[in-house]
Amino acid sequence: MPFSIALAGKGGTGKTTIAGMLIKYMIMKEKKPILAVDADSNANLNEVLGVKIIDTIGNAREDMKKGKVPSGMTKDIFISMRLEEALTETDNFDLIVMGQPEGQGCYCAANSLLTGFLEKLTANYPYIVMDNEAGMEHISRLTTRNVDVLLIVSDTSRRGLQAATRIHKLSQELNIGANKSHLIINQAKNGPSDMVLDILDEAGLNLAGTVPEDDTLYEYDLNGRPTIEMPEDNDAVKAAFGIFDKIIN
């Protein structure tokens, strides 16, 4: 069984950035090969990881739904060909991008093919890192059984923290990450305030640690430089690695 780590949190809190640092950490600790899954339709995990993508699972599903299967080709062969194209391979990790979600209540043929494909794909890797939307649609649909650690990312804002506690509750309802979810407060200017600690206490959410706001991290993103190439002696990277040391064995 692969060891899988999922990340979730309100958009803009730095979930994808933390995912990039996590993948860097895992490569350094020889926890590889990794399957990186971008399951957030707004995220750009590929940019954080410095790789180009040519296709997404969502595009393949849409084309299949629209009947764009070439004549003489079975749907199975078409979808497996397209999905292979959606997998970007590198030395240490491969990346698959989910793309646009299918919408609620869609149980079309494409989805069952996709589920089968993803199950087979995920079984090939010892480590999986998934960057998710706050609603965790993909987690609940596709990877429920596989989440070993859920990292919830928030900034210090009340709304970020409220989203974090909602995700924590949802993870318990979905039976994923129960007792396995950890909060990382990102872009922190100071240590956690009493307001923050009260909210977490009430929600029963474990604070794994804080990652400081960091100009270099921000500039890398602004200039299109991959987070994964950040220097290891950077304060934000060191803080994130310290957190991973505690929660990933």
Q: Nearest approach, Cβ of 149 to ligand ATP (angstroms)?
A: 18
Q: What percent helix, strand, coil does the chain show, rounded to 5?
A: 45, 20, 35
By beta-carbon proximity to ligand ATP, the closer residue of 19 and 60 is 19
CB of 66 to ligand ATP, least distance (A): 28
Pairing of strands 87-89, 93-97: antiparallel
Q: Which residues contact 221 (CB under 8 A, 6 or more apart)?
A: 17, 227
Nearer to ligand ATP, 6 or 236 (CB): 236
Q: Interface with ligand ATP by CB under 6 A: which residues?
A: 9, 11-17, 40, 42-43, 186-187, 211, 213-214, 217-218, 221, 236
Helix-then-strand count for the chain, H and E = 10, 8
| Helical ranges in the chain per DSSP H | 15-28, 45-49, 57-65, 75-85, 109-123, 137-142, 158-173, 194-203, 215-222, 235-247
- To ligand ATP, the closest distance from the beta carbon of 45 in angstroms equals 8
CB closer to ligand ATP, 113 vs 133: 133
Q: Residue 129 Cβ, how far from ligand ATP at the closest point, in Å?
A: 13
State which residue, 55 or 221, has the beta carbon closest to ligand ATP. 221
Looking at this protein, which amino acid is placed at residue 114? L
